Amino acid sequence: MKLELVFVPSPGDGHIRPLVEVAKLLVDRNDHLSITILIIPQMQGFSGGSASSYIASLSTASEDRLSYNVLSAPDQPDSDDSKPNFIGYIDSFKPQVKATVEKLAQPESSPPWRLAGFVVDMFCTGMIDVANEFGVPSYLFYTSNASFLGLQIHVQHLYDVKNYDVTDMKDSETTELEIPSLTRPLPVKCFPSIMLSKEWLPVMLTQIRRFREAKGILVNTFAELETQPMKFFSGGDHALPTVYPVGPILNLKTNGPDSTDDKQSEILRWLDEQPSKSVVFLCFGSMGGFGEDQAKEIAIALERSGHRFLWSLRRSRPKGTIGLPGDFTNLEEILPEGFLDRTAKIGKIIGWAPQSAVLANPAVGGFMSHCGWNSTLESLWFGVPIATWPLYAEQQINAFQLVDELGLAVEVRNSFRADFMAEVSELMTAEEIERAIRCLMEKSSDVRDRVKEMSEKSHVALMDGGSSHAALLKFIQDVTVNISL
């Protein structure tokens, strides 16, 4: 009998791509498993970009045991709300998800078909309700790292069991907090902004409580990278479902938003002309943009450092608006006078970047990054050291882990904060940036050696007999067991 899993990723490039890659691995590992991926379209204001072109490509990519179903976007009224209700938007698709799965589960299906469960993104916990209506288990796919999962679980435990509200730390003399998934106390300045917000923490806690309703949690990490959180999860004192470290789950064949192969080819040709490990690559994710003042500070630092550079420069959205960053219309107006001429032979400024292809190029010797988890895994996979410049979400935690816990990165400033989808209120100085670039690009360093070693471990984890390969097989076995209970 064919076993069917229904996958529900949340909108956004960094969530859809890894969940699709997990689905591919699962059907490749088990001939009796089929997967249908139900794709929720992006919210208004966030359409466009690489996610839209990627979703369009999936629409025609269905195969025998792996199919894609793009759900219909509802009419969305125009809104000036700078804090869109993302969770509410996802939950609004529950009736459509239910109806789609009902159509899949027709009794005349051939070969015989049995719904084995739902695998839902960490932001789609409301879909657990739909799984419950069908009487099948739910599993969570966690796109962030295991350390952040441990932090979320601990914060929820403090709130619900210890009556301790971490938002109070913001105005107290507390400077750090012991976290079971970390070996060192976490400074309050590295806490995600959402956790220190009286408005947003209750929303997050509601999501975290639902994690415990899942039968298992697939995490995009590998055991050798995050030994401390995996030790915590195996302890049994947190009442969490089984955690499966199945990463690094990467989509390494990506094309850009409205990019053409010509744009990518031009970037890669330029890199091919540069010496080995001579280029610092600056890229800050699909949501990472800067204002003119910050762009100028980066330019000053790059020129002073003397290193070759490939800089993905995007303009942040005006304060109070939502959406993706755009391109600057005239670089000469915002960058230091003469900068483009003086650096023409050693630097290249671009908009969108084919990130994985760039990191794979031998010319790249360092990556200044926002520390999004997918970007972090890509950088480790290709053995490229990171300079950490976190902006929003859980990126401060990722930066702390990389620098202080694991010694796999150098810091620009790990406590830097940008309000999500708003003009950056802080300014990173040229001096800070230059120092980080020089440290990052050292030819021989302990960080570079450790990154090389972890890169090798990340490849081994996915091989037959590797830790992540074994975790994925264990997940498949548990799915089979759970539907017979």
CA-CA distance, 36 to 20, in Å (whole number)?
A: 10
Name 410's bridge partners: 387
Among 5, 253, 207, which Cα is nearest to 91's? 207
Q: Minimum mean pLDDT among 113-122, 333-342, 414-423: which range?
A: 414-423
* Cβ contact 409:370 at 8 Å: no
Q: Are strands 186-187 and 176-177 parallel, antiparallel or unpaired?
A: antiparallel
Q: H or E stretch including 28? A: helix 13-29
pLDDT digits (tens, 9 = 90+) for 262-289: 889 999 999 999 999 999 999 998 788 8
The larger pLDDT score, comparing residue 462 to residue 48, is at: 462
Q: Minimum mean pLDDT among 81-85, 178-182, 348-352, 435-439: which range?
A: 81-85
Name 120's bridge partners: 8, 140
397 pLDDT above the threshold of 90:
yes
Mean pLDDT of 143-156: 96
422 pLDDT above the threshold of 50:
no
Query: Kindly report the CA angle at 442 between 281 and 378, in degrees rounded to 5?
Result: 40
Could you give the C-alpha distances from 44 to 80, 236, 265, 314, 418, in angstroms and in order?
11, 42, 31, 20, 22
243 pLDDT above the threshold of 90:
yes
Which of 102-106, 234-238, 257-261, 389-393 is modeled with the greatest confidence?
A: 389-393
Q: Read off the pTM.
A: 0.93
pLDDT band, residue 104 (cuts 50/70/90)? confident
Mean pLDDT of 375-398: 95
Please give the share of the chain, as a percent, with pLDDT higher than 70: 89
Other Cβ atoms within 10 Å of 320 Cβ, number = 12
**Nearest-10 crossing angle of helices 13-29, 373-381:** 60
Domains of the chain: 2-251+461-483 (3.40.50.2000), 261-458 (3.40.50.2000)
Contacts of 223 (CB under 8 A, 6+ apart): 230, 245, 461, 467, 468, 471
Model pLDDT, residue 257: 47
pLDDT digits (tens, 9 = 90+) for 441-483: 999 899 999 999 999 999 999 999 999 999 999 999 999 999 8
DSSP calls for 271-322: HHTSPTT-EEEEE--TT--B-HHHHHHHHHHHHHH--EEEEE--BPPPTT--
